[in-house]
Amino acid sequence: MIGKFDFSSRDCYSPVPTRIADFLTEEEKTERKKEHAADFRLIKGTMRGYDENMSVARMGLEAESGCLVWGVIFAVLALIALIAVTYAALESHDGGGGFVGCFCLLVLPLSCASLYMFIRANKLDKGIALARKHEKERMRNGMEAEVRYIERRARKLKEEQIAKEKEALRLKEEQEKLQRQAEIEARKRREELERKKRQEEHARKVAEARKNAELMVNMIIANELPIGEFFKNIDKGDGHGFEDRLREFFNLSGYACGKVSNSSDQGVDLILVVDDIRYAIQCKFYSSNSVGNDAVQQVNAGKALYKCSHALVITNSNYTKSARILAQANKVDLLVLSDVVHFVQTLR
């Protein structure tokens, strides 16, 4: 059956897994085809040698069969000759053994030849059996070698397939990583655009609010609008909000006004600079109480600390009588909101 197997067909063995072809280039596919063709030629040549050896073995077996047949024929003749010799010996006393003697002389060489052919056939039988045994052993070894070779090829191809799959997995992971990085970059760009858009919107709103505030301050200074409109959105008790609104009012009026950032401001909340003249300002935002001596004393003490030549106290409420006397004695100006407009007008 092995000798008649059609090794010219590619269906007999397909060592290349289907999935490997997906990873091979055209050059690699061509090289693989050449290698497989060489493997099939090698196996086919080996099997052709096996066929020739089997033909020789069959010829020897036929020769062996012929020798055995002739050996049997000559053995029968030898047996007949032996019987004839015995009969001739018995009939020699009667004088009728001449014909039998001639017959024995003719059959005896044939009997010897048949014995020789029988012995030779027996030796040939043993030789052919031994040769056939050796041939079978050689064929089995050859087939085992072919199987080992095919297994090595299959194992190598499997290793290549695993390597290709690992490479494909690595490329897929790299592609996914690059895709994630691209998504992150795109998200960052979107966030940056949104942040810039928010900043622009905030800047626009701030500019618009500043423009409206400047318009309001100009109207207040021109006595077209009461100053209370500028401070109406301050919560009760929010002293820092009152300070921020006063600073904004002075800045929008065209003067540099800064807020003292220290927690211990020594009685000075704002510093107003007008033509190199520095004003120390104490802000007091009360809902009902009047401003007392403490505010006057604090701003008077802080004036020297911040190197200011004038001191002011500004409140939305009123001052006590004692505070007014102390302020007059220390040359500290006490202003309410309605006086701020007149103060800014005098600065101009």
Q: So where are the chain's domains? A: 18-178, 227-347
Give the residue-averaged pLDDT of 95-120.
61
pLDDT on residue 145 = 79
Query: Do residues 119 and 67 make contact, with C-beta atoms less than 8 angstroms apart?
Result: no
**What angle is formed at CA 314 by the lines to CA 309 and CA 317, rounded to 5 degrees?**
155
Task: Report the top-level CATH class of 227-347.
Answer: alpha beta
Query: Do residues 47 and 5 make contact, with C-beta atoms less than 8 angstroms apart?
Result: yes
pTM score of the predicted model: 0.46
Cα–Cα distance for residue pair 212/42, rounded to 1 Å = 98
Cα–Cα distance for residue pair 74/96, rounded to 1 Å = 26
pLDDT in tens, 110-137: 666 666 666 766 676 677 777 778 778 8
pLDDT in tens, 70-87: 556 666 666 666 666 666
How far CA 94 is from CA of 85, 86, 100, 216, 229, in Å, comes to 15, 14, 12, 178, 179
Give the residue-averaged pLDDT of 5-19.
43
Longest dimension (CA), the chain: 198
